Amino acid sequence: MTARTLCAVLTLLLGSLPALAQAPQKILRVVPQGEVKVFDPHQSQVNLTSMHVALVYDVLFSWDADMVPKPQLVDTWTVSDDKLLYRFTLRSNLKFSDGSALTTRDVVATLKRLFQRDSQIQALAQRVAALETVDDRTFILRLTEPFRFVEFLIGGSNGISGGIMREQEARTDPYTQITEIIGSGPFRFVKAEYRSGAKLVYERNPFYIPRAEPPSGFAGGKRAKVDRVEFIVIPDAAVAVAALRSGEVDFIDSPSLDVVPTVANDPSIVVGEVWPIETYAVLRPNSIQPPFNNVKARLALAYMSDQREYMTAAYGDPKFWRECYAYWVCGSPNGIELGAEDFRRPNLEKARQLMIESGYKGEKVVLIGGADVPAYNTLSLVTADRLKKIGVTVDLQMSDWGSVSARRAKKDPPDQGGWNLFHTSANGAQLASPLVSPSTIMTCDGKNFVGWPCDEKEEALRQAYIKETDPAKQAALVEAMHRRLWEVVPYVPLGQLKQPFLWRKNVSGVLKSNTLVFWNIDKG
């Protein structure tokens, strides 16, 4: 018998052994809030996309649990005495999930794309004079002026959106989604098992080398302790909870609050928290399309709104929510409510008059919403009703949240696939600072967050805040900015809630972070 024949026989015998002889895989089955529809880390920061990005990609720096930037793919870095030249060296032996080497060519290409696409880090992007490779592990970043937030923003504006991709994907037009999902993070996307509307699969990336530090937020050692993470799409909250009770699934992301009491006393289920700051619900208008390109129409939305009605309808028991009129989140260091005094109680008559003064003449207003997210569905219904009360003709177009998150990026007129209004929510950590909150960046270049509000006065104050180092002067600028925001209304705050998450008791290692992450999670 030749060596080749012997090898073939052994392979056949080993392949015929019972499955019990193989170590069972650890599979974490998760019911996401909706279905991931945008897979490009630079295209969207909805929570669904962020969860996908955190699984598949790693970044140069990440925010820890205290929002302090920590190196991830970076090993060492230096800053010149004049604070204009940064020299970064990557960790050794970095690889993508296809086994190819991760080099500074990939990093530089990714950053150039990120600097064009990520609206919240334009304060850094606008100060970049040069971005160049030195060798496969070292690259330099040269600034036009000192900027104290380089490490904080170079990983993207929410700590994970700057996911490093291969050079060939990074060269894709910043406003076109990539088609190949080859990442640099602890898991890899299994495209062959993707079933739209039903299932997404991520498996442990065998080429990923985690850092040695303990995990903290988005930072530290990102150790994959399960072999697979499966997103099981179950739109019906009651069905999802039943699956959790039976053990068919292990984790429910951002469940509807009305189902939480049904499992509160179940010894096999944990009702836990993930996001470090309360969730913020908002009504976001399109500021580049009529009628909300007129500030009076946006003010009408603020006068129309009643936080108590919205929060009661969408989130139920007041123990889960509170009113909040702070653009940078109640409970955060910037959580002031100055300028909101006139908006704490609705004034429908004033809202109706402002709509008339804005030039509105009964045209259809397209309100898009995620019907598969119960809270968004309810918020949309409340808004449709209140708009009708102030004389607005409403075209309510409900679909799945994944589709809404993709559609909202369109700048086309509403009758050509665009939109006028939508509801969303976000964990407060992303919104707690004028530096990175996407919702309050009001640049007039059309590169800011969807809705694209423009106000040169507000943006000038924000730039002054970014440059200011004196805490007292920073606080004064926060107050001035907040008053201005309530004058121009980039969006309408609807209140804050404590968003619980559900998982089975045999699941451990759930980290607190701005987006639900799956490293460090184990399943007994």
pLDDT at position 10 is 32
Q: Which of 184, 181, 189 is nearest to 228 (CA)?
A: 189
Helix (H, G, I), strand (E, B) or coil at 481: helix
Tokens of 188: 């890899």
pLDDT at position 4 is 40
Do 394 and 523 belong to one domain? no
Cα 218 to Cα 220: distance, rounded to the nearest angstrom: 7
Cis peptide before 291 (omega within 30 of 0): yes
Q: Does residue 7 lie in a domain region?
A: no
| Per-residue pLDDT at 7 exceeds 50 | no
Cα 494 to Cα 307: distance, rounded to the nearest angstrom: 5
| Per-residue pLDDT at 201 exceeds 50 | yes
Cα 250 to Cα 150: distance, rounded to the nearest angstrom: 38
In sequence order, which residues have a C-beta less than 8 Å from that of residue 341 and are 6 or more positions away? none
Do 271 and 315 belong to one domain? no
The model's confidence at residue 1, banded by pLDDT at 50, 70 and 90, is very low
Q: Which of 163, 206, 124 is nearest to 42 (CA)?
A: 163
pLDDT at position 247 is 97
Q: What is the DSSP string of 142-210?
A: EESS--TTHHHHTT-TTSSTT----HHHHTS-TTS--S----SSSEEE-GGG-BTTTEEEEEE-TT---
| Per-residue pLDDT at 21 exceeds 80 | no
Do 289 and 239 belong to one domain? no
Cα 47 to Cα 100: distance, rounded to the nearest angstrom: 29
Q: Does residue 19 lie in a domain region?
A: no
What CATH number corresponds to the domain at position 271? Answer: 3.40.190.10
pLDDT at position 22 is 59
**Contact in structure between 337 and 327 (CB atoms under 8 Å):** no
Do 243 and 188 belong to one domain? yes
What CATH number corresponds to the domain at position 481? Answer: 3.10.105.10
Cα 394 to Cα 360: distance, rounded to the nearest angstrom: 13
pLDDT at position 19 is 43
**Contact in structure between 84 and 92 (CB atoms under 8 Å):** no
Burial class from Cβ neighbours inside 10 Å (0-12, 13-18, 19+) for residue 338 reads middle
| Per-residue pLDDT at 121 exceeds 70 | yes
Burial class from Cβ neighbours inside 10 Å (0-12, 13-18, 19+) for residue 51 reads buried
pLDDT tens digits, one per residue of 217-271: 999 999 999 999 999 999 999 999 999 999 999 999 999 888 999 998 999 999 9
Share of the chain above pLDDT 70, in %: 96
75-79, 118-122, 140-144, 299-303: least confidently modelled range: 118-122
Over residues 7-15, the mean pLDDT reads 36
Give buried/exposed letters for 368-381 (b at 16+ CB in 10 A, else e).
bbbbbbbbbbbbbb
- Please tell me the total count of domains within the chain: 2
Do 357 and 323 belong to one domain? yes
Share of the chain above pLDDT 90, in %: 81
pLDDT at position 159 is 78
pLDDT at position 60 is 98
**Contact in structure between 498 and 425 (CB atoms under 8 Å):** no
pTM greater than the 0.95 cutoff: no
Do 288 and 233 belong to one domain? no
Q: Does residue 186 lie in a domain region?
A: yes
Q: To the nearest whole number, what is the mean pLDDT of the chain?
A: 92
Q: Does residue 334 lie in a domain region?
A: yes
pLDDT tens digits, one per residue of 314-364: 999 898 999 999 999 998 889 999 999 999 999 999 999 999 999 999 999
pLDDT tens digits, one per residue of 50-65: 999 999 999 999 999 8
Q: Does residue 98 lie in a domain region?
A: yes
The model's confidence at residue 276, banded by pLDDT at 50, 70 and 90, is confident
Tokens of 292: 């909300």
Domain holding 393, by residue range, is 279-497
Do 196 and 119 belong to one domain? yes
Do 271 and 300 belong to one domain? no
Q: Does residue 15 lie in a domain region?
A: no
Do 227 and 296 belong to one domain? no
| Per-residue pLDDT at 2 exceeds 80 | no
Cα 426 to Cα 281: distance, rounded to the nearest angstrom: 7
pLDDT tens digits, one per residue of 64-109: 988 899 999 999 999 999 999 999 999 999 999 999 999 999 999 9
Do 290 and 234 belong to one domain? no
Cα 503 to Cα 166: distance, rounded to the nearest angstrom: 34
Q: Does residue 433 lie in a domain region?
A: yes
CA-derived radius of gyration, the chain: 24
Do 318 and 440 belong to one domain? yes
**Contact in structure between 503 and 518 (CB atoms under 8 Å):** no
Q: Does residue 318 lie in a domain region?
A: yes
Look up residue 277 and give its amino acid.
I
pLDDT tens digits, one per residue of 427-473: 888 788 998 898 999 999 998 899 999 999 999 999 999 999 899 99
Do 352 and 260 belong to one domain? no
pLDDT at position 23 is 66
